Structure 1
């Protein structure tokens, strides 16, 4: 009886929490189908009286939003692919190879997780500037090619792969890249799925770094462009709400498609860590 009461209490508590967290999102989506005057009406109404698509029409007709989406997709795709490759390969090296100062190097990599990006932002900016990458998408891709968190996550999982299996593959004549592609990658698929989702969301929502490296309107990514667009249409709340709704849709789609892999990867990584 006590367990049932606790279970009911948890269900009610989580349901209320879900409603509180979902309400701003629902409010934003519904306001995108209202006129600005209806949004500002007192008392406010949750649902629009009439479905109004003027906000979306103005969004797509008066802004290069497709260019902004293309820029974000290019950056996100490149960063995800590069991080998965570098994290899994370096994780394999740290997990299954012995070399001098291995533990010291790994500790130094982990220490970078304790350093906020704002601390190294200026040195990274100077390096990117010296490479003549400012105001290009490469300025957003190159500094994000590697991930200390991704390396740690992959190393933890690769250590669980039997070393005898790798030795057997070497005896059969398999090279290191063959072992990496045929043995390592299939066994860390759930980890890479979780890392890919984290990387996607972090890169998609990154605002600070594009803000200081991108000046051209046509090269802006979605978060930076959204701020720029909202400033131009600050009095047209329905247009701003439409832009916010369109921007957040890819994240929702990605999470819904890979929810199972994400939860599985996080659960396993938590157990291993």
Structure 2
């Protein structure tokens, strides 16, 4: 009986020791995960830090090797060159108008088309949807020449129409909204129709409010796309007053023999601020739209 009691006590002691080591290992892994996330966050923020500090460096310090982590001779001459004597604020306004137009039209067309693909049935639906997905896989450069010819024939060069209209239809947005709307129960739509709602009433009062997370994420994506669409903006704008911020800064930075890195960093910082503000304002919709929309359908 005594041997059995000793054996049982030894087993309990070993089990307790095993639990203690397991808890210590779990805590160690947790701290390692926190450390990895912290290091990864620092590495992700490093380009932003480098961009902001670079906007306050003179050209010599900006290209110094080894590179300076903090400006030893901080200066505002890069910002002065960017903001004084150049229509930079006009470029900023042009970028905002173009990006807002792309986002607005993209949201309108994507929600309507996503509703049709997600909640309706019509002949050739699957074929049209696969063709839509195919356009997402094609390189953007393929459409540059056809769109250029269209803008030339329409005489839309150096206009906001050329910056906005070619991207009124946003294939990724249609795909995102369609996947999200497939998760909306059809019983809600049927109940609204029984109560006398029209087709547009069902879309406006029932479907659209339930799709706000996806619409928020879509608006952010479309705005970022319109803001950063450098190649197309470079092709269709020539007048200095119609340049967007990325195009205007690139022409201001690049010279015949050298590139003014400090001014480029200042311009990149100025272009980054609106993106940061938009994301902070709509981050809840963005995260919810991505996480929920990714598992629907």
The answer, yes or no, to whether TM exceeds 0.5 is yes
Seen in structure 2, the aligned counterparts of structure 1 residues 41 and 107 have a Cα distance that, compared at 3 Å, is: closer
Structure possessing the higher radius of gyration over alpha carbons: 2
Cα distance, 1:250 vs structure 2:
0.8
Q: How does 1:1-273 map to 2 (within 5 A)?
A: 1=22, 2-39=25-62, 44-49=67-72, 51-232=74-255, 234=258, 236-272=260-296
Q: Give the SS at the match of 1:161.
A: coil
**1:87-119 deviation line (CA, Å, top 9, x unaligned):** 111111122222222222222212212211112
Which shifted more, 38-47 or 186-195?
Answer: 38-47
TM-score between both structures, scaled by the size of structure 2: 0.84
Q: Give the SS at the match of 1:271.
A: coil
Distance in 1 separating the partners of 2:148 and 2:247? 17
Distance in 1 separating the partners of 2:295 and 2:65? 51
Distance in 2 separating the partners of 1:205 and 1:29? 18
Do the aligned partners of 2:254 and 2:260 also contact (CA within 8 Å) in 1?
Answer: no
Distance in 2 separating the partners of 1:97 and 1:171? 17
Q: Give the SS at the match of 2:169.
A: coil
Q: Provide structure 1 residue ranges, at least 5 long, that are not aligned to the other structure.
A: none
TM-score between both structures, scaled by the size of structure 1: 0.91
Seen in structure 2, the aligned counterparts of structure 1 residues 225 and 91 have a Cα distance that, compared at 3 Å, is: same
Q: Give the SS at the match of 2:295.
A: helix
Distance in 1 separating the partners of 2:227 and 2:276? 12
Distance in 2 separating the partners of 1:39 and 1:109? 45
Moved over 4 A (4+): 40-44, 232-236
Cα distance, 1:182 vs structure 2:
0.8
Seen in structure 2, the aligned counterparts of structure 1 residues 37 and 112 have a Cα distance that, compared at 3 Å, is: closer
Cα distance, 1:194 vs structure 2:
0.8
**1:152-195 deviation line (CA, Å, top 9, x unaligned):** 11111212222222222223222222222111110000001111
Distance in 2 separating the partners of 1:117 and 1:241? 27
